[in-house]
Structure 1
Amino acid sequence: MQAAGRAVKSGARRLLGRAGFDIVRSGDNRGGVDDFLPFEPTMRAARASGLSVGDHIDTVMNGTPGATQSTIDELRALGVYADRPASVLEIGPGSGRYLEKTLKECSPDRYEIYETAAPWAGYLVETFGVIARPTAGCSLAPTPDATVDLVQAHKVFNTVTFLCASRYFFEMARVTRPGGRIVFDVMTETCLDPDAVRTWATQGGEGHGSYPAAMPRRACVDLFATLGCTLEAGFLAPMGVATTEVLVFRKAG
């Protein structure tokens, strides 16, 4: 068993080395999701619970069983997977809970990830055969223009600064092919009625860094409009003690 584990880690290290990553211990990695979702303890806890990693995070850590699947179900109902996207790019997949369910929905030929936490990136490459791109700032530079059918980010832009999110928005529009879709969630004013703000302020804990970060809905819609992307739909999804809004854009064909 130990030999098998070493082989998996060695294989993941070789794969990530080609993409500019180095697998290091959780306490020493470059940040990202591993700062608040440490790889090794999370994997041990998921195995002990008898759940998949994603279901463990939803059920045990977030206290919202089925939250990830409910978002996937909404996206399916909106027709996001109906065109069978052949290429998918995900920013900040972390534990892969949305990635795993997306793969089941559309079985793309290529799935790229941009993940700053090296242990999680290695796990996703080894487990799901995705392509880990080297991360730098808020850029998707390794991905060529107009080459991706579905670009997505889940529970990412609520954790970064306004400018970082905005820079990613430009990049997401750049890499999406005409007719493709862009899906992400942000904490808009729709999610921030007085009761929700009170709940965040009194029950949401200390947060970490910029989390939870708000983003004006109109700013998103207007910006993507200038980039040739039209808002198709929006719906609320659970996040922490309140909600976040998932937005679905289509790039003009």
Structure 2
Amino acid sequence: MNAVASAKSVLRSRVKRILGRAGFDIVRSTRVQGGVDDFLPFEATMRAAKAAGLSIGDHIDEVMNGTPGATRFTIDELRGLGVYAAEPETVLEIGPGSGRYLEKTLKECSPGRYEIYETAAPWADYLVSTFGVVARPTSGSSLAPTPDGSVDLVQAHKVFNTVTFLCAVRYFYEMARVTRPGGRIVFDVMTETCLDPDTVHAWATKGGSGHDSYPAAMPRRMCVDLFETLGCTLEAGFPAPMGVASTEVLVFRKNA
């Protein structure tokens, strides 16, 4: 290692220690849009949840997002739609982060295999060790390691409102590819149904500073039309809480 590289290494270590004392963590990310992994610094989030006497998922809902019960609400709605009654044998989740939806999904059904695509390595490692899921290598927009038509339930929660349009669309193509005929695709997006003038005003004035792609809007009609061309039919849609407003959860079935 040359002198410059050595100096940079020492500097990074010092910065990491200083941030650690303040409750932050540095996470290596492969996301191209930037900033998303910073929402959930692993060590700081774990410490804060423990200090509050809450599960990680409840801490994120109640404290970080200010929407108590948001995760449970979505899971309850999906149960009512019969998503878990289909008893999916294989589940794939994009961007599970802390695992708040993953954990509740596993309580609703018992898949033999649960794959995750998570770019934040500390969270991916935690989910593998805690829940026995399979972490797939990810570039941040592809599900390439998963074979065609091999998954019963593909889901992503609170992901596509944080990424760029093209990143989300590339994932849409991949989600349709890996889903078996008769399987379901579940994800939420911030459609026009979530963006009335009062809500837009709330985001502009109360929703925080945001970052490069958050919060990201997505045309509902485009989603429905695109998935139709990919052999998927919209079964249902419902609003789910997010921050100062909501997103829309869409449930598609892959045609036989």
Q: Is the TM value for this pair above 0.5?
A: yes
Contact map agreement 2:27 2:37 (CA 8 A) in 1 = no
For residue 51 of structure 1, report the CA deviation from its aligned partner: 1.1
Structure 1 residue 56 corresponds to structure 2 residue 59: yes
Q: 1:160-179 counterparts in 2 under 5 A? A: 160-179=163-182
- Distance, in Å, in 2 between the alignment partners of 1:58 and 1:31 is 25
Q: 1:176-195 counterparts in 2 under 5 A? A: 176-195=179-198
Bigger Cα Rg: 2
Q: Secondary structure at the match of 1:238?
A: strand
What is the TM-score with the length of structure 2 in the denominator?
Answer: 0.87
> What residue identity is the alignment partner of 1:117?
A
2:100 is aligned, of 97, 101, 105, to: 97
Contact map agreement 1:90 1:153 (CA 8 A) in 2 = yes
Aligned to 1:231: 234
State the superposition RMSD in angstroms: 1.2
Provide structure 1 residue ranges, at least 5 long, that are not aligned to the other structure: 1-24
Aligned to 1:5: none
1:245 is aligned, of 232, 248, 252, to: 248
Aligned to 1:37: 40
Q: 1:104-253 counterparts in 2 under 5 A? A: 104-253=107-256
Contact map agreement 2:194 2:247 (CA 8 A) in 1 = yes
> What residue identity is the alignment partner of 2:183?
G
For residue 34 of structure 1, report the CA deviation from its aligned partner: 3.1
- Distance, in Å, in 1 between the alignment partners of 2:169 and 2:115 is 20
What is the TM-score with the length of structure 1 in the denominator?
Answer: 0.88
Structure 1 residue 74 corresponds to structure 2 residue 77: yes
Q: Secondary structure at the match of 1:136?
A: coil
For residue 26 of structure 1, report the CA deviation from its aligned partner: 3.7
Shift in alpha-carbon separation, 1:28–1:152, aligned structure 2, 3 A: closer
Contact map agreement 1:34 1:120 (CA 8 A) in 2 = no
- Distance, in Å, in 2 between the alignment partners of 1:252 and 1:233 is 15
Matched pairs, number: 229
Contact map agreement 1:113 1:133 (CA 8 A) in 2 = yes
For residue 70 of structure 1, report the CA deviation from its aligned partner: 0.5
Aligned to 1:20: none
Contact map agreement 2:27 2:121 (CA 8 A) in 1 = no
Runs of 4+ more than 6 Å apart: none
Identity %: 82
Q: Secondary structure at the match of 1:42?
A: helix
Provide structure 2 residue ranges, at least 5 long, that are not aligned to the other structure: 1-23
Q: Secondary structure at the match of 2:26?
A: helix
Q: Secondary structure at the match of 1:145?
A: coil
- Distance, in Å, in 2 between the alignment partners of 1:110 and 1:57 is 26
> What residue identity is the alignment partner of 1:252?
N
Q: Secondary structure at the match of 1:85?
A: coil
1:46 is aligned, of 42, 46, 49, to: 49
